[in-house]
Chains A and B, each alone.
Chain A
Amino acid sequence: MESIILQILNGLDKGSAYALIALGLTLIFGTLGVVNFAHGALFMLGAFVAVTVKNLLNLSFETIDETRLDFLNRPLRVQTPYVEHWFGPEIGATIIDWSVPLALIVAVPVMALIGVAMERGLIRHFYKRPHADQILVTFGLAIVLQEIIKANFGANPIPTPAPEIFIGSFDFGVWLGFDPYAIMYPYWRLVYFGFAAVVVGAVFAFLQFTTFGMVVRAGMADRETVGLLGIDIDKRFVIVFALASIVAGFAGVMYTPILSPNYHMGMDFLVLSFVVVVVGGMGSLAGAVASGFLLGILQSFASMTQVIELIPGINQVVIYLVAVIVLLTRPRGLLGRKGVMEE
């Protein structure tokens, strides 16, 4: 029982990331009709926003401390971050410690800008083109972004820790009446799950309860009619693209303490996120979120030692296996609507 709860918890954080990425993907697909293979790159760029914010906060000036020696027995060069110099060592250290959550604030304008630039600069020229063209161009764009990050940040993962108060684990076992230490779950992964839930809730609320959201939903249902009513739907859709970029960026920023960011993390998540979208049903926001969590949890069950011993290699293929089964039994995906991507 404990191990089942553990694997469900384990699946939640990965599932949260899948759900956030798939949500953005579905939003863009539903509104613009574009299959955006660069969406994983947006997740990766979000993670590197966190790295950049951390690096900026750690910008330092050098002083020489004659009383201490470095590894070559020379006087020690001490690096003091400007933030600590300006705000005092304590407040400065706290600001640096909280660099990941602070990066969220920076991520809003940065990711929105990247999203708008991407849409206006490249993707809008491909609205009327076949899906194969869209996939090729966005895939190419993803590779370009990836190489830019690699050239600037190197190929190695960059450790980006969570604030110190979130280091450590929550003992679910005691809370649920099991033995102590039976079910331990890191605080930050709980934070990530909570964060994802809030973001998903906010996006749904925005689409459901605002006039803007209503127009977008109307546009998703019937773009032509909305246009005939005199509404400039294209302008709204740029904003939707920016919104999807921000959601992917948020997912990336907050994921950095779980997995040290590297340039190819976007690709790693992208393929799985597409499977998530397809399983959830193309164009269905709720389906994307539900299947994100479902597949995340299934993947973590498949990684259990007992399961691997029973079916070797299942951890690598489980997601695709589920996709095959779902598509065979429900060709439109779990919550797919009729008429999406169908002539």
Chain B
Amino acid sequence: MSDLKLSRRGLLRAGAASGIAMAAPMIFTNRAYGFTNEPGSGSVTLGFNVPQTGAYADEGADELRAYQLAVEHLNGEGDGGMLNTFSSRVLDGTGILGRRVEYVTGDTQTSSDAARSSARSMIERDGAIMITGGSSSGVAIAVQGLCQDAGVIFMAGLTHSNDTTGKDRRANGFRHFFNTEMTGRALAPILEANYGTDRKAYHLTADYTWGWSQERSIRAYTEAMGWETTNAVLTPVGAGDFSSYLTPVANSGADVLVLNHYGGDMVNSLTQAVQFGLRDLQVNGKNFEIVVPLFSRLMARGAGSAIEGIFGSTNWHWSLTDEGSQAFTRSFGEKYGFPPSQAAQTCYAQTLLYADAVTRAGTFNPCGVAEALEGFEFDGLGNGPTLYRAEDHQCFKDVLVVKGKENPQNEFDLLEIVEITPRETVTYPVDHPDFQGGDLGACNPGA
């Protein structure tokens, strides 16, 4: 007889232990490598997590195009784009640290749950070393939290809510795109100059983190210059028909409508506002005006002539004449046949910034990469001199105030740059009240 005796309790213990071991995600089992998904010597995988369906699908499609272009350029294919104009010269078209860049994609469906599950799958199953993308702040914040826990870097795509680098900031997350505070600072002076200080504003606001943040910022800066906010109504994302929200506007005594909507929602709400004749109104002896704080060329195309003369802000526009913008517009335009959107530019820049930080750090370890990005000052990526602020992982750069063009010269000539608000004007202190309550915490290398 053997000495091996298996008691009932022992069996249960062994069963429970092996169950836990099998159930544990790979994140916890690859401890031997030093950090999550350390790449081998041949290639490195990036995870592009973009909305391919839902209200922000147009933006998502353009983001994906930009990522594919960035991968080409990093691998030394194509004309190199902004690799040639980037002030940091360490990227030479041989991939990242000598490894060929490969990528996997996921569909966020403009939903936080779907975005988290696609990001998790890219990290656990495909071995992605970095996740980037998102075209909604709700999604970005959810995925940023997931990446922090998993121990990979998150390079945010289009996300404009203050919270991404405010109360929800994380040590592993970085944002190149601007935010609603910067929009408020850049847009308010232009609104004052064009519409005066005696205005009554009606807000329609997308009911999630970005919408709330956008409304708060615009209200703060317009109320400071004398405007009154008469109503602020929350609308569900993807509502489609906004008519029941728009009909009370004409009769409310307001003379400005602020549409805190983005993507497909903004296209629908703006075109319907125009259909309801709001732009033909005379209220309080003034022309009724519509403001769209966050503008994009893709939305402008969807909304057609409805955008003429409407003010908003944007992170970047293809008509900028600096070397970087022109190089990017040229390589993107030649590959796809139309100019890139602001979403494309921020995603392309984020991919290059990540590759550059890895190269300068000499490692894919997220903590090394984060250190290389923190306080990094660069130029040549289309926004002028830019700083990745160490304290909150937010980029500080010029902001564009734009207007829907009255007489477009071609089908892409839809927005006119009214002003380039300098970086100093849009820079806010780290302890700004709207950004409080967050803590970067320590970087997490995973493993």
Contacts and interface: CB of A to CB of B under 8 A. Distances in A.
A148 interface: no
Contact of A71 (B231, B267, B275, B329): B329
Given A71-B333, A156-B264, A186 B247 contact: no
A168 B277 contact: yes
A94 interface: no
Contacts of B57: 154-156
Contacts of A300: 243-244
A169 B240 contact: no
B251 interface: yes
A6 interface: yes
Contacts, number: 97
Contact of A258 (B241, B251, B278, B409): B241
A87 to B, nearest CB: 23
B42 interface: no
B244 A182 contact: no
B248 interface: yes
B250 A305 contact: no
Given A181-B277, A188-B275, A10 B410 contact: no
A7 interface: yes
Nearest to B236: A316
Interface in B233-269: 233, 240-241, 243-245, 247-248, 250-251, 264, 267-268
Q: How large is the interface on B (under 10, 10 to 19, 20 to 34, 35 or more residues)?
A: 35 or more
Nearest to B51: A155
Interface string A301-329: 00111000000000100000000000000
A110 interface: no
Interface in A154-183: 154-157, 159, 161, 167-169, 171, 181-183
A70 interface: yes
Contact of A157 (B245, B264, B275, B304): B264
Contacts of A161: 304
Contacts of B283: 181
A161 B271 CA distance: 10
Interface string A20-57: 00000000000000000000000000000000000000
B436 interface: no
Contact of B339 (A71, A76, A259, A303): A71
Contacts of A7: 244, 247
B251 A182 contact: yes
B410 A70 contact: yes
B231 A76 contact: no
A72 B233 contact: no
7 contacts: A3-B251, A155-B54, A182-B250, A185-B276, A186-B275, A186-B277, A303-B245
Interface of A: 2-3, 6-7, 10, 13-14, 68, 70-72, 76, 154-157, 159, 161, 167-169, 171, 181-186, 188-189, 258-260, 268, 300, 303-305, 315
